[in-house]
Amino acid sequence: IQFQFPKGFWWGSSASATQTEGAADKDGKGQNIWDYWYEQEPSRFFNDVGPGDTSQFYSRYKEDIALMKYIGHNSFRLSISWSRMFPNGVGEVNAKAVEFYNDVINEMIANEVEPFVNLYHFDMPMAMQDIGGWANRKVMEAYVEYAKTCFTLFGDRVKKWFTHNEPIVPVEGGYLYDFHYPNEVDFRKAVQVGYHTILSSAKAIQVYKELNLDGKIGIILNLTPSYPRSQHSADLKASNIADVIFNRSFLDPSVKGEFPDELVSILKEEGFMPVIEKGDLDLIKSNTVDLLGINYYQPRRVKAKENLPNPEAPFTPERYFDNYVMTGRKMNPHRGWEIYEKGIYDILINVKENYGNIECFISENGMGVEGEERFRDKEGVIQDSYRIEFIREHLKWVHKAIQEGSNVKGYHLWTFMDNWSWTNAYKNRYGFVSVNLDKDAERTVKKSGYWFKKVSQDNGF
């Protein structure tokens, strides 16, 4: 074994409710923004496959958890669907949902797959979106109630909680770049939404601590290290601003309890400061995370702006920098994302050096590939050697970070089994396990799943 990981390393994968459960209108579940948006504008979704047509984890979770165990998972992250628990976002809890999540959690524990539970993965209940979603403080309070209900119901068995997954993505998608409902372009709202999300996280953490449960609570952030085109001061400055806006805007308040000064200056200068109520900032300051989940897919390549921004265009962060394509970069053509394995190490070292070496883990990393059926061999196994290489190369850098003192505790692949995705529906496949929608969602373990089983058994490779 060349790359041996510390004892007890968390090997597993992650998924989310909307992407895997299916049963979008069963057993009293309310609509969320994805159910609604798909109904309204199916043409926006690749293949016309909607969130109701997913991998059917809702009815097949026992089979899936058995497979997790089989391929060496000692942990798995799922999300709870707010609109399944509270069909209208608030009010009476849905007993069928409680039964479902209890069954899933118990089944995982019985199989020695530790449940890591996330409370919000892009899936605003439609009734809450109708009154403004995260832009409305009342919705933020409703989320805290929902969080409290989950801690109370499941906190005796769930020991790792997460308040949000990639909270910046609904801000970007919903309010800046038009890829999530309500697909508005409004920087002022984007800032308010982001602010309320951070506040909701701190409030949920406060509630969790007050309940005195014996577990940890964290947040999952997608970190995209920013690399300047050159060491020229203009490029360095541009790259720093991108880092402040896309990484530190959520990382600093989550881990340090305060917003970066550079961010506050930009918002003040541009007149985009959010509405902050008395006491909010103290609350954020005193309720930071115990544990940080890091999702890493791609870096950001940044250069100074070459042309003056169009003053008529709606404000977006690109007012301050340009992205550029680095020559010779490695690409995943299916997703259009650069593959840069060292980025995972740079993030971990940054967390070690600048964020108190807080306990963390890789909560997502993965490779979406289209048309994987063509790699299925005579035995029925998808030969996804490219995925094995992708994981292995990233793990080597994680290993190096550990050697250098990083407090990284695990690696979760995105994702366990092929699932529905926000903007690509069923186009790109990410799983260790294939799901064949043409064959009654039949599950088969891919080559990468068998490989991972061995890695987990050997605690290295």
Smallest distance, ligand BGP to C-beta of residue 19, A: 6
**Is the Cβ of residue 86 or residue 122 nearer to ligand BGP in the bound state?**
122
The token duo for 370 is 């289209």
**Is the Cβ of residue 422 or residue 451 nearer to ligand BGP in the bound state?**
422
Amino acid making up residue 379:
E
Report DSSP letters for 2-36, one per residue: -SBPPTT-EEEEE--HHHH---TTSTTPPPBHHHH
Cβ atoms 182, 129 nearer than 8 A = yes
Active site residue 364: yes
Smallest distance, ligand BGP to C-beta of residue 214, A: 28
Smallest distance, ligand BGP to C-beta of residue 366, A: 7
**Is the Cβ of residue 200 or residue 287 nearer to ligand BGP in the bound state?**
200
Smallest distance, ligand BGP to C-beta of residue 415, A: 7
Phi, psi angles (nearest 5°) of residue 280: -55, -50
Sheet holding 300-303, edge to edge: 226-228, 300-303, 322-323
Could you tell me which of 75, 86, 74, 156 has the C-alpha nearest to residue 119? Answer: 86
Angle (CA) 432-2-454 rounded to 5° is 30
**Is the Cβ of residue 33 or residue 169 nearer to ligand BGP in the bound state?**
169
**Is the Cβ of residue 280 or residue 364 nearer to ligand BGP in the bound state?**
364
Q: Closest residue to ligand BGP, Cβ-based?
A: 421
Smallest distance, ligand BGP to C-beta of residue 177, A: 13
Q: Which of 114, 341, 364, 372 is catalytic?
A: 364
Could you tell me which of 118, 358, 360 has the C-alpha nearest to residue 256? Answer: 358
Binding residues for ligand BGP, rule: CB under 6 A, are 16, 19, 165-166, 169, 222, 295, 335, 364, 368, 414, 421-424, 428
Label residues 49-73 b or e (16+ Cβ within 10 Å = b).
bbbbbbbbbbebbeebbebbbebbb
DSSP H or E stretch at residue 435: strand 433-436
Cite the active site residues. 364
